[in-house]
Amino acid sequence: MHILIIGNGIAGITAARHIRQRADHQITVISAESDYFFSRTALMYVYMGHMHWNDIMPYEPWFWKKNRIHLINDLVNVLDDQRKTVHTAGGKQISYDKLILATGSSSNRLEIPGNELDGVASLYSLQDLQYIESKSTNLKRVVIAGGGLIGIELAEMFHSRQIPVTFLVRESSYSNMLLPAEESEMVNREIREHGIDLRLHTELTDIKGDEAGRIKSTLTSSGEEIDCQLACIAVGVHPNVSWLSDSPIEINKGILVDELLQTNIADIYAIGDCAELRRPSPGRKAIEPLWYTGRLMGEALASTVCGTPVKYDGGIWFNSAKFFNTEYQVYGTISPKLPEGQKTIYWQQRDGKKSIRINYTEQAVIGFNLMGVRFRQEVCEKWIVTKTNIEVVLANLELALFDQEFSPNYAHAVRDAYRSITGVTIRSGVNRKHAHVHAFMKNHQKSSV
């Protein structure tokens, strides 16, 4: 059986690896972006000089031949589902028995005057990074539009080269559609403390060019004109599915799939950023363009195409990011505004650099939001899955702390925060010196069942 995978991101490559572990099928992976799979989240560190291209390839070039995964660097532009073939821009016609679409995302554009000028960029692909690098000589100022994770990555990239940045965010606070108000304000401070010119309540409305078609300035919703030589658009991404518009595959925003990640066409599947679940789990979105969901989809689909059907399960919601020097983690349910029926405990360090938020209902803990503090993912997920009572969680919070021997006892501070809002004193039930041992033993026992 020949399994053809279009896209060499985390979803497609995870599927290829796990198929190879299970079976001896012929596997071909096609990508027009790069010869080899790389860590997309590490692109910024290549620009910053912290890593080289070879450093962000998880597998050596010999890995693919050894595992009999055939790689083709080409662009697929036509799908013939009747003949089970695809056609590439390079003139190849490739047949398949099963097809996996893992084509990822494309950057959103702003439909404003000047968006086609030389010097307008985005950051998603390897080609985007190469373009930004080619325009980074003699930059006097960069304007970034968009208040998401890609926007702040771009700001940190240019800041690392001492290039002045004006950061336009249309919301009243950075990422306040994702973060609760206190955490959002923490990021505002972090951005400004690094010398970034953060403009809230401000949108990009026009891009001006010179006679040669190069960008020379931008106009904002406040009427200000900002001189710049590069404008980076970071207003989100969308599923890369436009090339399928003439195919019979059902598409909404993404490629519609069922629980087995099957499309409406037999033997064609979709995973990763390009896939849209017809029936997402309660509280989850139909499209989740995240590294770990792509990985989980790839693992589940590998089992299915090898003859053991497995329904996709996104597990407990998880995300992580880095806002300059502040690490961010979230596990479970954390909404920007506290919904009715939920309660929260919030602690913030006096210098405003670290915070811990735990959301819970009357019955159980439901989410953790961490800024500048690391918790163990497996511990937090276990508490959420088993619907552990908030007071039991607080008594055992040391089990979640990642650096028990080297960091202050934040668990004690969180228990104090709980006492201040409830009047209930919770005492630690864990010997902190041996908390990492307890955590290991509990997880070991769980995995051995």
Q: Which residues of 361-377 are buried (b: 16+ CB within 10 A; e: fewer)?
A: eeebbbbbbbbbbebbb
Structure tokens at 194: 């690094």
Domain assignment of residue 113, yes or no:
no
Claim to verify: residue 378 and residue 263 sit in the same structural domain? no
- For position 409, what pLDDT does the model report? 83
Measured distance CA(314)–CA(165) in Å, rounded: 37
Q: What is the pLDDT of residue 431?
A: 61
| pLDDT bracket for residue 404 (50, 70, 90) | low
Domain end (from 176, 211, 235): 235
More confident residue, 46 or 435: 46
The reported pLDDT for the residue numbered 429 is: 84
Residue 307 · residue 1 · CB < 8 Å: no
- Regarding whether 138 and 100 lie in a shared domain, the answer is no
Phi-psi region of 138 (alpha: psi -120 to 50; beta: other; left: phi over 0): left
Among 305, 326, 343, the domain boundary falls at 305
Indicate if 293 and 204 belong to the same structural domain: no
Residue 246 belongs to some domain of the structure: yes
**Whether pLDDT at 446 is above 50:** no
Whether residues 334 and 442 share a domain: the answer is yes
Number of compact structural domains in the chain: 3
Whether residue 110 is contained in a domain is answered as: no
407 and 258 in a common domain:
no
Mean pLDDT of 327-351: 96
pLDDT at 147: 86
For residues 285 and 382, membership in a common domain is answered with: no
DSSP conformational letter for 266: T
Average pLDDT, the chain: 94
Same domain, 324 and 433: yes
Report pLDDT for 437: 42
Q: Give tens-digit pLDDT for 187-210.
A: 999 999 999 999 999 999 999 999
Give yes or no: residues 71 and 14 share one domain.
yes
Mean pLDDT, rounded, for 102-129: 96
Q: Residue 111 domain-assigned?
A: no
In a domain, 264, yes or no: yes
- Please report, for the domain that includes residue 412, its CATH number: 3.30.390.30
Kindly state whether residue 438 falls inside one of the protein's structural domains.
yes
Q: In residues, how long is the chain?
A: 449
147 and 65 together in one domain: no
Of 249, 284, 305, the one marking the end of a domain is: 305
Give yes or no for residue 442 having a pLDDT over 60: no
**Across 160-203, where does the E strand assignment appear?**
165-169, 197-200
In 119-130, which positions are buried (b, 16+ CB within 10 angstroms) versus exposed (e)? bbbbbbbbebbe
Q: Where are the beta strands (DSSP E) in 89-132?
A: 93-95, 98-101, 105-107, 120-121
Q: What is the mean pLDDT of residues 95-122?
A: 97
Structural domain includes residue 312: no
Whether residue 403 is predicted with pLDDT greater than 90 in this model: the reply is no
| CATH classification of the domain holding 301 | 3.50.50.60
Q: Quick one: 242 and 99 in the same domain?
A: yes
Determine the pLDDT at residue 408: 77
Same domain, 179 and 301: no
Give the pLDDT score at 405. Answer: 60
> How high is the pLDDT of residue 319?
94
* Structural domain of 394: 318-448
Tell me the HSE value of 438 on the side-chain side, using a 13 A CA sphere.
16
